[in-house]
């Protein structure tokens, strides 16, 4: 069990958490806008149900309350690293398929990719603050996706953006949870706790 927070560490953590919350909030708004533009531009049905796709991290989590702070950060980090790779893939496919047409969508996609990268870096900061080693990226690199048909690519893009919007919501809740002052040892889990 790590020692209780020093005042400066607690202050730094709350600052990082609140900035992270703002980042996640902005990201979510942009992802929702991007999702609308994507659905329209790709000619998809906004209500289409998309099966869970390999490599797309699911925001839904069981027993969210019981997660330790470190678990929250590590799961968030793994997810946003995965989204970084998925969005980069979508951007590449966008250029391949559309070239210079629909540059607006390409720019919006690139902007969200930047935010996801920034948020991942922010999560690494938080993990470093808690002197938790930042997990290396090698293990996280998603396996190269199977060659999808164009329609499957469109559906995957839809699934990625929908899930990313959900993750942004979850991240705000996670960071709010982390921002709470650390409880005395033995009480409800906070950041210092780890299994």
Partner 1 sequence: LGDPQNLKCVTHNLHKMLCTWDISSRGRHGQTEFCYTTNDLTPQVCFKTKERRIEIPIPESSITVTIKTSGTALATKEFVIHQKDISFVPVTPRILSLMPDFPTSTLNMKWSDNGSVFPYGLDALWQIQILRKEAIEVVTQVAYYSKLTHEDIILSWNWTSDMPLECTSHYVKIRCYINATQFVGPKDWSDWSPAEVIPGKDTEPGGSGVFPLDPVVAVGSNLTFCCVHEEDQRITNMTYGSKSYKMMQLSSRSHAIRVLNASVSNSSGTNVVCRLENGLEGSVVFVGYAPDIPQNLSCETPNFLIIKCTWKPGRPSGLYGERRTKYSLFERTSGKNVSCEVSEVNKDHVCDFPVLPDQKTYDFILGVSNPIGQAQTSLLVDITQRVHPKTPEKLTVTGNNSTSIQLRWFINGTFAGIRLLCQIEVTSSHSERKLHNVSVPGRKSSAYTARLNALHPDTTYQFRVRCSAADRFWRWSDWSRAVEQTTAEA
Applying CB under 8 A, which of residues 49, 65, 146, 187 lies at the interface with partner 1? 49
Tell me the number of residues near partner 1 by CB under 8 A. 24
Rg over alpha carbons for the chain, rounded to the nearest Å, is 18
Applying CB under 8 A, which of residues 46, 48, 60, 61 lies at the interface with partner 1? 48
Q: Does 44 bind partner 1 (CB under 8 A)?
A: yes
190, 180 Cβ separation under 8 angstroms: yes
Between the CA atoms of 119, 59, 134 and 20, what dihedral angle is there, to the nearest 10 degrees? 30
Sole window of 61-69, 93-101, 115-123, 182-190 interacting with partner 1 (rule: CB under 8 A):
93-101
Applying CB under 8 A, which of residues 58, 61, 101, 169 lies at the interface with partner 1? 101
Token pair 């929908």: residue = 162
Distance from C-alpha of 106 to C-alpha of 109, rounded to nearest angstrom: 5
Sole window of 15-23, 45-53, 125-133, 175-183 interacting with partner 1 (rule: CB under 8 A):
45-53
Sole window of 68-76, 130-138, 147-155, 182-190 interacting with partner 1 (rule: CB under 8 A):
147-155
Token pair 């980042």: residue = 23
Q: Does 42 bind partner 1 (CB under 8 A)?
A: yes
Between the CA atoms of 158, 161, 163 and 166, what dihedral angle is there, to the nearest 10 degrees? -130
Q: Does 100 bind partner 1 (CB under 8 A)?
A: yes
Q: How far is the CB of 150 from partner 1 (least distance, A)?
A: 4
Indicate the SS3 state at residue 8.
helix
Q: Which residues bind partner 1 (CB under 8 A)?
A: 41-45, 48-51, 95-103, 149-152, 154-155
């Amino acid at each position: 069990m790590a020692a209780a927070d020093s005042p400066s560490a607690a202050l730094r953590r709350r600052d990082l958490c609140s900035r992270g919350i703002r980042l996640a909030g902005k990201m979510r708004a942009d992802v929702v806008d991007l999702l609308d533009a994507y659905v329209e531009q790709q000619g998809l049905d906004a209500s289409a149900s998309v099966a869970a796709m390999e490599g797309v991290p699911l925001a839904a989590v069981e027993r969210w309350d019981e997660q330790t702070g470190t678990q929250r950060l590590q799961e968030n980090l793994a997810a946003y690293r995965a989204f970084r790779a998925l969005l980069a893939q979508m951007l590449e496919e966008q250029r391949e398929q559309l070239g210079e047409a629909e540059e607006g969508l390409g720019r919006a996609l690139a902007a969200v990719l930047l935010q996801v990268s920034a948020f991942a870096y922010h999560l690494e900061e938080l993990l470093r603050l808690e002197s938790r080693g930042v997990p290396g990226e090698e293990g996280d690199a998603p396996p190269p996706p199977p060659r999808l048909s164009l329609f499957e690519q469109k559906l995957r893009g839809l699934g990625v953006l929908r899930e990313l919007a959900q993750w942004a919501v979850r991240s705000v809740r996670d960071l709010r949870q982390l921002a709470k002052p650390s409880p005395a040892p033995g009480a409800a889990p906070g950041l210092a706790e780890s299994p």
